[in-house]
Structure 1
Amino acid sequence: MATALPMTAIAQDGPRVGMSWANFQEERWKIDQAGIEAALEELGGELISTDAQSSSSKQASDIESLLARDIDALMIVSQDSETILASVERALNSGVPVVAYERQIEHPDVTYVAFDPVEVGRIQARAVTGEAPEGNYVIIKGSPTDPYTTYVLQGQREIIDPMVEAGDIEVVAEQFTDGWLPSNAQRNMEQILTVEDNDVDAVLAANDGTAGGVVAALEGAGLAGDVPVSGQDGDIAALNRIARGTQTVTAWKDTRELGRLGGEVVTKIIDGEDPATIEGAQDWDKGAQGITQTAIVLSPVAITRDNLDVVVDAGWISTEDLCQGVSGDGAPEACQ
């Protein structure tokens, strides 16, 4: 049975949108959902959410339950981009349009709404190489079943490959993180540190959750704060790590903005608008299969110790949360 999450139900005659989350436990998804609900609320709509709890089989069951509720459109954060295709086909064959939210589902009739994942990787690598222009690098990738992982790696490689070819950087280890789980990232990083005898100069971690696992491993080895670490999303804990100096950068994605965009896009599709004519739409064919589909992507923002005021001024994080545990002359300007 699908797990019902908090929903907004304003009017029975507004758009009914089903949302299948791969794992609603991640901090950011709650912010995304609030943005989607805000957009639907303006149209008297209803968001019906389910949580697959990192299970592909449960996600398939959740989608069956959503379709049975006579939804007008389906949004999906996929657990496995290949396994989900059967559910996508079932929805499309039932006349229910599908939007892949943040994690791409490579299908010509699925609209993709996300922050630009390649630029995320570029942001991460630019900041980390700025701190460590040479040395031994570790790449802690995201889930192997998520195309977003490949895109982030592509962006990272655009920046570091010339430095690798020049002999300045050596990538001594690369590891996927099953389910994007911080505990898996920590275990992988601990094993790498053991194999490399702690001789690691920088870590490109795929998101803030994996960065948290990496930093925990570095703390265990007495290296936290000395080894640059990247992330993405702008999680509260990650921004605090940046303020404390144990994480170098996060590719901040204001998911309030993406949630609202997702809600606006899905309602326009329900109203019969061709996704390709929506403002900002582009052809996206960067997936593994090279399938062309319509995408609307937003640009992330690089956040480091030098511009933490950006997220404070945006109301994304309070100064108290940002600066918890931060003191002394080395505190970033946002905490002074």
Structure 2
Amino acid sequence: MRTNNLHLREVKMRRGRLFLIGILILTTILMVSSLGVCAKKTIRIGYAAPSLMDEGQVAIREGAYVTAKKFGWAFTTTDAERDASKQINQIESLLARGIDALVFVPVDSAALTVSVEKANKLGIPVITIDRKTTGGKLLLTVQSDNYLAGKQAGEYMVKLLKRKYGEPKGLVLELQGALGTNVAQLRGKGFNDVMAKYPNIKVISKPTNWYPDKGAAITEDILTAHPELDGIYWHSDCIGAGVVPALERLGKLKLIGEPGHIFLVGIDGTRVMLGYIREKKVDATMSQPLLDHGKVALEFLRAHFQGEAIPTSGLVIEPGALWSPAHIQMVNTGPLINLATTPVDLTNVDDPRLWGNMKKK
């Protein structure tokens, strides 16, 4: 009997150990499974830049990248080098890799609609920055108020011409960006809506497709044909970065206040252009909050992933930010946030809130 009792206790102990082992195995399986789920929750962002040769686009990408890393997200960047076809192929590759969201600056608003529509079919949310596409459904577009920037540039140019002549008159060269982008269209419209009020101001408009060397070549041609040129307005400081050295080569770059000074006004607020303003080579630039573009975009993207609806109207307010308050409106592609631009000249060029002053050198 003692032997049987001992055998019974040994069997129970074995069963107990097996039960404990079973619990441990199950717990391990659940832990591994849980870790696998966590790994799958790492959000993967595909960022398609239009050209990282442009200081402004580098800043937009930097703001998005820093924010993504803060959220613990993976972030893959491509560079289209201003080629719409190349950007379409790069986005197709990003989508094939299984990204969770597409964030990009379209090289061409119409051409890149096809990429948005493909992402829509795959159920992948899309945010555009700096400019929108003409079609497709976007979760959000975050951009500077490009019409306002053009309007501010126009008003600044009028002020300079009035100061020179005592009335609004003169000849101005408008160096346009890529006319296929809504950003160039809006910057042109804002500027020319102001110019239209003053019939004695003549505007010559030429597209550059954002290329600095093309802007420089056009400037040289126009100055040859019209040496009386009073001012130049460029849609982006990336264009101006080619124009200022060209004027120097031609002996046409006179400092502010000197006889023969050609008024130079642009949009972006790059570090280079702020330097030119300090040197009195350039009169003004309408600064965009470029580092905040990507930050704002990814903050709204995180809210979307957390189940929050993207607002379709109202204001985005960030105390102390030069772009605040920003207006939200509905357009054909979805919600759009317009961040305000800031006129910058010698009086405020050292403001630390300007992205050109914040950017690492």
Instruction: Indicate whether the TM-score tops 0.5.
Output: yes
* 1:153 corresponds to which of 181, 188, 210: 188
* 1:206 corresponds to which of 235, 241, 250: 235
In structure 1, what is the Cα distance between the partners aligned to 2:184 and 2:356?
A: 25
Q: Structure 1, unaligned stretches of length 5 or more?
A: 1-10, 286-290, 322-336
In structure 2, what is the Cα distance between the partners aligned to 1:163 and 1:315?
A: 33
* 2:74 corresponds to which of 28, 38, 46: 46
* 1:221 corresponds to which of 242, 250, 254: 250
In structure 2, what is the Cα distance between the partners aligned to 1:316 and 1:135?
A: 31
The yes-or-no answer on 1:269 pairing with 2:304 is yes
In structure 2, what is the Cα distance between the partners aligned to 1:270 and 1:147?
A: 28
Give the conservation status (yes or no) of the 8 Å contact 2:174–2:206: yes
The secondary structure found in structure 2 opposite 1:144 is coil
Deviation at 1:315, TM superposition (A): 7.5
Deviation at 1:78, TM superposition (A): 0.9
Aligned to 2:212: 182
Aligned to 1:324: none
The runs of at least 4 aligned residues of structure 1 exceeding 4 Å deviation read 313-316
Letter of the 1:296 partner, please give it.
I
Aligned to 2:91: 63
* 1:72 corresponds to which of 100, 104, 108: 100
Q: TM-score, normalised by structure 1?
A: 0.82
Give the conservation status (yes or no) of the 8 Å contact 1:37–1:46: no
Deviation at 1:47, TM superposition (A): 1.5
Give the conservation status (yes or no) of the 8 Å contact 2:103–2:129: yes
Deviation at 1:95, TM superposition (A): 0.3
In structure 1, what is the Cα distance between the partners aligned to 2:56 and 2:288?
A: 9
Q: Using the aligned pairs only, state the percent identity.
A: 25
Q: TM-score, normalised by structure 2?
A: 0.77
Query: How many residues get paired?
Result: 298
Aligned-residue RMSD, C-alpha: 2.2
The yes-or-no answer on 1:293 pairing with 2:324 is no
Q: Which has the larger radius of gyration?
A: 2
Aligned to 1:86: 114
Aligned to 1:330: none
In structure 2, what is the Cα distance between the partners aligned to 1:29 and 1:315?
A: 12
In structure 2, what is the Cα distance between the partners aligned to 1:272 and 1:187?
A: 51
In structure 2, what is the Cα distance between the partners aligned to 1:143 and 1:91?
A: 24
The secondary structure found in structure 1 opposite 2:134 is coil
The yes-or-no answer on 1:305 pairing with 2:346 is yes
The yes-or-no answer on 1:96 pairing with 2:124 is yes
Letter of the 1:144 partner, please give it.
L
Aligned to 1:128: 157
In structure 1, what is the Cα distance between the partners aligned to 2:237 and 2:302?
A: 31
Distance of aligned partners of 1:316 and 1:212 in 2 relative to their CA distance in 1, 3 Å threshold: closer
In structure 2, what is the Cα distance between the partners aligned to 1:145 and 1:97?
A: 24
Aligned to 1:245: 280
The secondary structure found in structure 2 opposite 1:214 is helix
Aligned to 2:145: 116
The secondary structure found in structure 2 opposite 1:283 is strand
Give the conservation status (yes or no) of the 8 Å contact 1:79–1:146: yes
